[in-house]
Structure 1
């Protein structure tokens, strides 16, 4: 795979540096940037894709609502997934199960991002908050017994969100998910 430039948008999640490292270990040109960065600054860096990290709270997503609407391939992880849902007209809520735990996820549509993961996969996720309603134009990719929207994607744009953390070793096939996203970036 060609070397791509990927920006990791830091939402102050505890695994943000693991996302950076996982992408770097896959041979990518990766830069960790604050979520307060402006769209113009991102465009000057000419990234091939953006990854929005998890984080503690929607109030600390900085300029995320503008950044997540950029015309680039985007992967939202945990809080990044929720941010994408809100930015495009979906809804979020406090989950019934807070804290990190192993979750069995049912893959409904492998699509580009979940290719090779059906019919189920075990992931590491926090459900302190979660997407409760898909945004218009998005489709459901995965669900679990505790969360109906574990993964989603836009029907025509390269926008993907997952509730779980593919960057941690506790997630089965997490690196495969990141590789699948990089393939999307290489085709965009």
Structure 2
């Protein structure tokens, strides 16, 4: 196992709560910084993980999100939140587009078959904070749905390799009942991967 501290950076996609993601990682004793989504891959630090933040970009309309496509080619665990989640789905061949029923505020979601790694140790039904006009409509091949709600079928997704995770809601917002646990679970995935190197 490496003696190097765990390094997980947060990609700023213009989201209003990006600093909260960074703050949560700092609270969990992770070496972290916020980087702009136009940062070239060649300028990234030696990372153990990456978070693609939410943002104002309408991924369901434009399909674009800075250099996030290049970041998704990195061999490290990656968590996509809101727009980051939608972009991840599109990048790997799924589909994200306008929500039939946009969600704003506290909503209840239900885990599907235990919810995968990010939801480990959380309740089967839980309250999360939503803020989106677009959503994932089709998960990519090799991904499975980890959580859903009546108005948004893909509240969470994970790939079969266990290193790509997407959340439609905002775990970094205090109103998300188990947000801290979700960040802890992502950090645990990154730490386990670091131990394999």
After TM superposition, the score normalised by the length of structure 2 is 0.90
Bigger Cα displacement from structure 2, 167-176 vs 113-122: 113-122
Please tell me whether the aligned partners of residues 157 and 165 of structure 2 are also in contact (alpha carbons under 8 angstroms): yes
Do residues 86 (structure 1) and 90 (structure 2) align? yes
Listed one character per residue, the Cα deviations across residues 38-84 of structure 1 (whole Å, up to 9, x for unaligned) are 12222xx1111000100011356211111122111000000010010
Cα RMSD (Å): 1.4
Tell me how far apart the structure 2 counterparts of residues 99 and 14 of structure 1 sit (CA, whole Å). Answer: 16
Please tell me whether the aligned partners of residues 97 and 127 of structure 1 are also in contact (alpha carbons under 8 angstroms): no
Tell me how far apart the structure 1 counterparts of residues 174 and 96 of structure 2 sit (CA, whole Å). Answer: 27
Tell me how far apart the structure 2 counterparts of residues 132 and 126 of structure 1 sit (CA, whole Å). Answer: 16
Q: Counterpart of 2:104?
A: 100
Q: Which runs of 4+ in 1 moved over 6 A?
A: none
Q: Counterpart of 2:50?
A: 50
Question: Displacement of 1:99 after TM fit?
Answer: 5.2
Tell me how far apart the structure 1 counterparts of residues 123 and 146 of structure 2 sit (CA, whole Å). Answer: 10
Alignment gaps of 5+ in structure 1: none
Please tell me whether the aligned partners of residues 117 and 162 of structure 2 are also in contact (alpha carbons under 8 angstroms): no
Match of 1:140 among 124, 138, 145: 145
Tell me how far apart the structure 1 counterparts of residues 165 and 154 of structure 2 sit (CA, whole Å). Answer: 12
Tell me how far apart the structure 1 counterparts of residues 159 and 103 of structure 2 sit (CA, whole Å). Answer: 27
Alignment gaps of 5+ in structure 2: none
Q: How many residues align?
A: 185
Do residues 186 (structure 1) and 188 (structure 2) align? no
